[in-house]
Amino acid sequence: MIVFLVIFLAALLCPSVHSEESSEKWCYHEPSCNFSTWPQTYPQSCNGSRQSPINIVTASVQENPSLSSFNFTGFDDNSTFKSITNTGESVVVGLDDHKMSVQGGDLPGLYNTKQFHIHWGNGSSSPGSEHTVDGKRYSMELHIVNVHSKYNGSVDAALAAKDSTGVAVLGFFIEGTNEQNKPKSWDILTSFLTNISSPASSTLNVMNQTTMDSLLEGVNRTKYYRYQGSLTIPDCTEAVIWTVFKDPIKVSQDLINRFSTTTFFKGSPSVLMTNIFRGVQPLNDRVVTSQPSAAPTHTTSIITLLLLSSLCWL
């Protein structure tokens, strides 16, 4: 922890570290490096054919009965949030991957849960989710990043292996409500933002206050879309099994507004962090799948009724 603090202070104080950071070749907010330039800057990967995010066209989603429910381990444990960091491109909560994991949901094995981060627009009136559904963009999107257990907790190892199933990201839409400071878990999470308003700042006192389950309250996690895609930031490696849950998390607009009014961008420390999402990418030959809808059983019961009524005529 002391080492961490020293590195952190060095990052704040040393101009050399600063210039290294601002030499990063991508950004969200400047024409010279925003996401429309990423395919040129990172041609090996951001120019690929299986990129994320996408617009999900519900009429084209195919049914896949093997999209079973997930087992979430440690999502109810309040000692798993290790830190919250303003990376200058997002806000990231580091998770204890020895305690948290995900399996089931037709994933090929067990995945260790590393972190979650959030994409947003400019307050609740200017939405900033990455995925869209039939063109609808939600207020924000939360991404839980998990890495296949064979990589021993190293996302970098999974990306380096160019393993298309190396990483599993769980995406949750966030929709605004007119309530105040609800739910409690999001009030707690957003209360840390004032401590990390500067890029490259981090706070460690986030333990034992809330759980992953509390942040995901109200989402039925048996209903989701599935497709094969990429990281949504450079270098856009195509190593992600995407799960995008259908139900949004409902969060008061005042809490959503805290994100775009508190934190500042890397490289432009006086510019508020807004519109931190990548635009949707071509689906190409990919297919989005989901659980079979309840409709078939409905149809079955109608057929049964018709059969029964035809029996009456005999």
The rounded distance, in Å, linking the Cα atoms of 57 and 75 is 30
Check binding of 253 to ligand NAG (CB under 6 A): no
The rounded distance, in Å, linking the Cα atoms of 167 and 233 is 14
**Partner whose footprint covers residue 261, from Zn ion, ligand NAG, none (CB < 5 to 8 Å by kind):** none
Tokens of 309: 């009524």
Among 55, 103, 164, 268, binds ligand NAG (CB under 6 A): 103
The rounded distance, in Å, linking the Cα atoms of 251 and 175 is 6
Among 62, 180, 181, 205, binds ligand NAG (CB under 6 A): 205
Half-sphere exposure of 297 (CA within 13 A, CB side): 3
**Cβ neighbourhood burial of 261 (10 Å; 0-12, 13-18, 19+):** middle
Please, which residue, 143 or 148, has the CB nearer to Zn ion? Answer: 143
Q: Which of 32, 34, 46, 23 is nearest to 274 (CA)?
A: 34
Positive or negative: CA dihedral 201, 204, 209, 212: positive
Sequence letter at residue 299: T
Check binding of 152 to ligand NAG (CB under 6 A): yes
Check binding of 297 to ligand NAG (CB under 6 A): no
Please, which residue, 84 or 254, has the CB nearer to Zn ion? Answer: 84
Check binding of 268 to ligand NAG (CB under 6 A): no
Check binding of 304 to ligand NAG (CB under 6 A): no
**Partner whose footprint covers residue 180, from Zn ion, ligand NAG, none (CB < 5 to 8 Å by kind):** none
The rounded distance, in Å, linking the Cα atoms of 220 and 286 is 25
Check binding of 151 to ligand NAG (CB under 6 A): yes
Stretch that binds ligand NAG, among 34-42, 86-94, 225-233, 296-304 (CB under 6 A): 34-42
Among 19, 220, 284, 299, binds ligand NAG (CB under 6 A): 220
The rounded distance, in Å, linking the Cα atoms of 219 and 227 is 19
Check binding of 79 to ligand NAG (CB under 6 A): yes
Stretch that binds ligand NAG, among 162-170, 174-182, 219-227, 237-245 (CB under 6 A): 219-227
Stretch that binds ligand NAG, among 2-10, 94-102, 207-215, 295-303 (CB under 6 A): 207-215
Check binding of 208 to ligand NAG (CB under 6 A): yes
Q: Which residues bind Zn ion (CB under 5 A)?
A: 143
Give the containing element (helix H, strand E) for 97. Answer: none
**Residues with Cβ within 8 Å of residue 85, at least 6 apart in sequence:** 91, 92, 93, 94, 196, 200, 201, 202, 203
Check binding of 198 to ligand NAG (CB under 6 A): no
Among 11, 17, 157, 280, binds ligand NAG (CB under 6 A): 157
Question: b/e map of 88-108 (b: 16 or more CB within 10 Å)?
Answer: bbbbbbbbbbeebbbbebebe
Check binding of 36 to ligand NAG (CB under 6 A): yes
The rounded distance, in Å, linking the Cα atoms of 303 and 297 is 10
Q: DSSP secondary-structure letter at 264? A: B
Please, which residue, 143 or 266, has the CB nearer to Zn ion? Answer: 143
The residues of the shown chain that bind ligand NAG, judged by CB under 6 A, are 31, 34, 36-37, 39-40, 43, 47, 71, 78-79, 103-104, 122-123, 151-152, 157, 192, 195, 203, 205, 207-209, 220, 222-223, 274-275
